[in-house]
Chains A and B, each alone.
Chain A
Amino acid sequence: MTSLAPLVEVRDVHKRFPVGGGLFGRARAWVHAVDGVSLTIHQGETLGLVGESGCGKSTLGRLILRLLEPTAGEVLFDGRSLLALSARELRAMRREMQIVFQDPYGSLNPRMRVASIVGEGLAIHRLGTRRERRARVDELLALVGLPPDAADRYPHEFSGGQRQRIGIARALAVRPRFIVADEAVSALDVSIQAQILNLLHDLQRQLGLTLLFIAHDLRVVEHMSDRVAIMYLGRIVECGPREEIYRNPRHPYTRTLLSAVPVPDPRRRKQRMVLGGDLPSPVRPPPGCAFHPRCGHALDVCRRDIPPLETGRGGHAVACHVFPAERVSAADG
């Protein structure tokens, strides 16, 4: 998998949002929503992105799609910098990347029929004749498991799971290569969530899609991902192959997160690691390692220097002074 070229490459991307200023006043402070993130997503793989609310997951997803402009840094898609593209080139590139949102209720226009919603991208990019577009819509509805008569109905006539299928059909319409699924199953009931996870999985295989799967549910991310990145206060603190992250987590934050997940097995009731305090404000992130105020292992250096994300054995990267990535040994080449 890693032998394939990266489809998406994020290089030291930053995004700051102004907060506190009045309508015309100067911003009083800045939120560092994304604070120097670098990562790659290879062709055909699913990268899971996990973190707690407000850590910058969705912002990062939107920066990658260039739905937001980064404050600094760059994003490469298929080897080309999105920032360097002309408006026309960007529009063409947009076809290749789509997003599926969390909220199956809010993200579909209630006054549009399903056929128009799903076919909107085709119309915008002027792909095919009207008849061809309609045929493509019917094909997509079948692909995501909706009945053919769904095309002429309105979103409110569908359940949450069905609306999420509509959202997926819409994203697939223009035959993208890359999809950002932002909490795409979080609002769904367990039985319906399983349907959508299977659907995404099958579609990925069938169509060779590359996926950025953003979620806060660690069980769902483990199920879906090839590699996983853990985000805390705007930075990636750990990243690596799924088994590495789940079986051999190194960063104290990752370990706390994993220990907090309730295990659906009453014989394995465990003693959890408990974090003190809330997520600090991203307006005034703690100096050094942003996790140090909640970390049980912090040393002086943690309060002073930001630990860099360093990649070690097996492509397992960690940003921690106390538990750095395991060294690549000679045997690993």
Chain B
Amino acid sequence: MTAVPIAPAPASSLLEVRDLRTFFELESGVVRAVDGVSFALDRGRVLGLVGESGCGKTMTALSLMRLVPRPGRIVGGQVWLEGRDLLALPEREMRAVRGEGMAMIFQEPMTSLNPVFTVGSQIAEAIRLHRRVSRRAAWARAVELLDEVGMPDPVRRAREYPHRLSGGMCQRVMIAIAISCEPHVLIADEPTTALDVTIQAEILDLLRTLRERHGMALLLITHDLGVVAEQADEVAIMYAGRIVEHASVLEIFERPLHPYTQALLRSMPGVGSERRDRLETIPGQVPDLLRLPSGCHFRDRCPKAISRCAEEDPALEEKAARHTAACIRV
């Protein structure tokens, strides 16, 4: 059994995101992919960012890295990392932040590696982008990193091309690249979604070991509440571009306040629990960001909605100690 940390966060955070907004202006309308997201992350902690597809998890992560693809644009907010607002930095300085301040593991490990270079050279390249070291030293470090991320036979594997490696091995290479410059914040976007369950377990264990060894903070993006229950200290639940609930992992699982979180937890089949013939469902579809209802964006699927939910846009407010939710009925 690993203890579940419930210690309070220190006053000033390593990473603080304030009212972040990233929009896609399309002919058909404005997609508010990230619509006023705020959260803080402290040294050594794990924040799980959870939500269904298209709710804006990846765009939140890419906004933090300032890597939003066109036609998307960060239209407002602040991203404070160790006392600097990243959104105000010139691109040249931002390049130094990527890798050393904050690094990201992307959603698809297979497609994120370049097929024409060996994995060793891709790791070495990442190191030389930030550190003035010789090619030989960078290569040696790449092999060391492969060893650290649990790659069997790292000397030989460093000379392999990505297509020769399994999905789990590719993900290890991606992690080696991400930690190569010892970032303070690691963002992992669905790091195990494409992997089999036994490989997923190994990668999650690896992330935990690395985090403990290097004291990194982790923003863990996932749609799997099981992964969150196991890995996260805190959880932020996202729906249609916004965080609708944020609390410690115990609070989220034992006292979920937002109707969406409650429904999400009940719609999940659980291992070992008594078999229920029917799962509870959330009616309707995953929201289309171009056709959101007025007021609370969840109201057309919400079992607790009342007429006032169509008029008021609920703000994320503290409803219990260190537990925020965006719902007028809580």
Contact = CB atoms under 8 A, between A and B. Distances in A.
Interface of A: 52-53, 159-162, 189-195, 197-198, 201, 216-220, 222-223, 242, 246, 256-272, 274-275, 277-279
A202 to B, nearest CB: 8
Contacts of B205: 272, 274
Given A52-B196, A52-B197, A266-B229, A258 B271 contact: yes
Contacts of B281: 191, 194-195, 198
B96 interface: no
Interface in B258-274: 263-265, 267-272
A260 B200 contact: yes
Interface in B36-61: 52-53
Contact of A266 (B249, B264, B275): B249
B320 interface: no
A193 B249 CA distance: 23
B82 to A, nearest CB: 29
B1 A197 contact: no
A266 B280 contact: no
Given A261-B271, A264-B265, A266-B249, A275 B2 contact: no
Given A194-B281, A222-B275, 12 more contacts: A52-B196, A161-B286, A219-B270, A257-B197, A260-B198, A264-B228, A264-B268, A265-B270, A267-B250, A269-B4, A269-B229, A278-B166
Contact of B225 (A190, A193, A195, A218): A190
Contacts of A268: 1
Nearest to A272: B201
Interface of A is mostly: helix
B199 A246 contact: no
Contacts of B283: 195
- Which residue of A159, A242, A262, A279 has the most chain B CB atoms within 10 A of its CB atom? A262
Contacts of B202: 274-275
A223 B250 contact: no
Contact residues on B (Cβ < 8 Å of other chain), bracket: 35 or more
Interface in B162-219: 166, 168-169, 196-202, 204-205
A52 B198 contact: yes
B1 A269 contact: yes
Contacts of B199: 52, 278
Contacts, number: 139
Given A190-B264, A256-B198, A267-B250, A262 B227 contact: yes
A55 to B, nearest CB: 9
Contacts of B280: 194
A275 B198 CA distance: 7
Nearest to A205: B277
Given A198-B281, A260-B201, A265 B286 contact: no
Nearest to A159: B285
A222 B271 contact: yes
A193 B266 CA distance: 12
Contact of B268 (A190, A192, A261): A190
A223 B280 CA distance: 13
A162 B286 CA distance: 11
Contacts of B204: 262
B253 interface: yes
Contact of B286 (A192, A217, A270): A192
- 10 nearest A-B residue pairs (beta carbon): A262-B226, A223-B269, A191-B282, A194-B267, A260-B201, A52-B196, A189-B52, A194-B279, A266-B249, A269-B2
B305 to A, nearest CB: 16
Nearest to A274: B202
B45 to A, nearest CB: 14
B297 interface: no
B136 interface: no
Given A161-B285, A223-B275, A262 B224 contact: yes
Contacts of A192: 52, 285-286
Contacts of A219: 226, 268-271
A166 to B, nearest CB: 14
A159 to B, nearest CB: 5
Nearest to B224: A262
B4 A263 contact: no
Nearest to B263: A191
A270 B4 CA distance: 11
Interface string B267-311: 111111001111111110110000000000000000000000000
A218 B197 contact: yes
B248 to A, nearest CB: 9
B83 interface: no
Nearest to B278: A198
Contacts of A275: 198, 202
A160 to B, nearest CB: 8
B312 interface: no
A246 B286 contact: no
